[in-house]
Structure 1
Amino acid sequence: MELSAVWTLITLTILRACRVNSLLPIPLIILEDRIQLNSETKVSCVLPASECRCLEVELKIVTTEKLKNCVSHKGNYSNVTCTLDVTKEMNEMELSCEAHFRTKSKPYKLNIQTEPEFTDCPDKLVWIEGQEASFHCKAKGYPPPNVTCQKDSMTYKEGETFITVKNMSGSYTCRAVNFDSVGKKVTVSVEYEPEILSIAVEPAMSVYEGANVTLTCKADGVPSPVYSWHPQVPHVILSGDNKTLQIREVTSVHDGFYICIVQNKHGIKTQQQKIVVNKDIIEAQTNPALFQKGKGEKLEVVFSNLLLLLLSSSLFYYLC
């Protein structure tokens, strides 16, 4: 088949698809009814039909005189309107409108097969316990890569949302995969409000007056919580991080409840521990009068037992 015949077939196919029966729409010139000398008049060119939407049209007003302020409108009922400064010499001047049609295909992208590459994937992520979070690791490549992040047996898709918990902290491997694959390490830190685990008392909750006692508060939280104690009483020594409170030579003033306070930017928690200062036992051991009385009572018991033993021995000898 000759080249000209091919083009003829293509043209006929386009015209048939546009439903114009081998005739393209003809543009029309529209003029104002009364045109006055030395004035400005409008000249318009309009395409009366828009049946052929597969064709792009450009309208142009053709005349020997200069037109100005031309404004075009494309789409349904395409048109162009210009202004003309009227002079006596323009009487019976001819104007026409040309419609230039052209066709074009839809745009198609040229996709070249490329290996995956991370474009936006931070090295560190900070989440808040109990809140919604996700991995934001974007990757480019063709075909578009599939991105997942994994730690142990848990795998999360890029953009997938979930509620965070403490054990999600750690190092993840994020991987972008198409016909090839690329990996990246992402460190996740889950922050949460503090929690008091225990308050240890040494030597015991009940202490003698004059002894030393130590209270140690242990708590968990991210960021690491700040410690403080209430109340502030005399003869108290705090460790550098305030976790440990030591009371030297306790007295009755130290009897009562001690509150450990821990806080970070996500919350505050408290827990109390009671200290009992035992005075009666101390007095029983240190009062000389009480001690001598007790000692005398013990000597009397020993002497009585010894006397009974001697008497029983003498009686046994006499009988024998």
Structure 2
Amino acid sequence: MEVSCVWPLIFITILRLCRVHALLPIPIISMEEKIKIDEETKVTCSLPASECRCLEVELRIITEEKLKNCVSHKGNFPNVTCTLEVTKDMHEVELSCEAHFRTKSKPQKLNIQSEPEFTDCPDKLIWIDGQENSFHCKAKGYPPPTVTCVKDSTVYTEGEKFTTHKNMSGDFNCRAANFDVVSKMVTVSVQYEPRISIIIVQPSEAIEEGENLTLSCEADAVPPPSYSWHTPTTQLIYDYDNRTIQIKDAKRIHDGYYICIAQNKLGIQMLKQKITVNEPEIISATDSNLAKESKGNGAEKMGPAFSGLFSVLLLLSFYYLF
């Protein structure tokens, strides 16, 4: 029973060996067509095609004669070429080509589980409002960690493209997670051009000559803007950052448009405000006397009428009494 079981195994092994050898490519040896005595000639051993990329192959030219300057080439069409010094005694000398194969498996990587670790994640980022951006927080570990950054319940995946808005300024919690989790804070500053909301005028936009007035320009920008003004006159008082200007003892030359200019490296915006300076109302002495006379004349006109009415009332009272 044991002998009968061995023979099938031997037969299967022989079949496998034959199959392997049948699959192996056969090397080819090639030489020049016209070979002359006392000259060098090239002899090449090569494989016909790259059918066995999984095999390492070594090609050899086999002969009893002395070969020199052998050069090997690897790749899709491996070959070896040698130089042979030809003599008349070499007629009908045999040369053959041998291919020696070494098989190997495909490489496999050894994957060792490791907790996540940030490798490239800056503490601070500067973005421009309206431009396309993304978080570039790289982390290593196995399995490869997933990196996300969160602010106000909004989650951004590492590398995800989005349009930046100024309300995105602030601290983001960036997390790298696989079987473990690590996190770090990333501070984002979104820069944007100036936006002037209002020019505040105190006490009002219309004043009389001799009064005081203040204009303050309110602008929002990152980085903070610089301020300048275009005004009807230079007779003004500026504060330390030019955001506020004052008019002392207003005159007619202060009447006109005041333009606030707010500017940073990203842009510029302007807003204008009209200021009116009125002349004060002047009452002359003649007009004052006329006003007094009109009051006096009114009293005199009312005097006789009042006396007549009093007399009538007095007579009626006597009539009813007696």
TM-score category (smaller protein): 0.7 to 0.9
Q: What is the Cα deviation at residue 307 of structure 1?
A: 4.3
Q: What is the Cα deviation at residue 132 of structure 1?
A: 0.8
What corresponds to 1:222 in structure 2? Answer: 222
1:235 touches 1:249 (CA, 8 Å); kept in 2?
A: no
What stretches of structure 2 of length at least 5 have no aligned partner? 1-7, 315-322
Counterpart Cα distance in 1 of 2:160 and 2:10: 53
Counterpart Cα distance in 2 of 1:112 and 1:301: 110
1:209 touches 1:249 (CA, 8 Å); kept in 2?
A: yes
* Letter of the structure 2 residue corresponding to residue 67 of structure 1: K
Give aligned pairs, total: 306
Rg larger in 1 or in 2? 2
Q: What is the Cα deviation at residue 14 of structure 1?
A: 7.4
Counterpart Cα distance in 1 of 2:166 and 2:47: 69
Q: Judging changes above 3 Å, is the alpha-carbon distance between structure 1 residues 118 and 65 closer, same or farther for their aligned structure 2 residues? A: same
Q: What is the Cα deviation at residue 13 of structure 1?
A: 4.6
Q: What is the Cα deviation at residue 192 of structure 1?
A: 1.1
Counterparts of 1:68-107 in structure 2 under 5 Å? Answer: 68-76=69-77, 78-86=78-86, 95-107=95-107
What corresponds to 1:115 in structure 2? Answer: 115
2:54 touches 2:105 (CA, 8 Å); kept in 1?
A: no
Counterparts of 1:31-180 in structure 2 under 5 Å? Answer: 31-48=31-48, 51-63=51-63, 65-76=66-77, 78-86=78-86, 95-180=95-180
Counterpart Cα distance in 2 of 1:9 and 1:187: 70
What corresponds to 2:317 in structure 1? Answer: none
Which is further off, 50-59 or 86-95?
86-95
TM-score by length of 2: 0.83
Q: Judging changes above 3 Å, is the alpha-carbon distance between structure 1 residues 44 and 312 closer, same or farther for their aligned structure 2 residues? A: same
What corresponds to 1:296 in structure 2? Answer: 289
Identity %: 54
TM-score by length of 1: 0.84
2:29 touches 2:44 (CA, 8 Å); kept in 1?
A: yes
Q: CA RMSD in A?
A: 3.0
Counterpart Cα distance in 1 of 2:227 and 2:248: 20
Classify the secondary structure of the residue corresponding to 1:33.
Answer: coil
* Letter of the structure 2 residue corresponding to residue 75 of structure 1: N
* Letter of the structure 1 residue corresponding to residue 75 of structure 2: K
Classify the secondary structure of the residue corresponding to 1:159.
Answer: coil
Which is further off, 303-312 or 241-250?
303-312
What corresponds to 1:287 in structure 2? Answer: none
What stretches of structure 1 of length at least 5 have no aligned partner? 285-289
Classify the secondary structure of the residue corresponding to 1:299.
Answer: helix
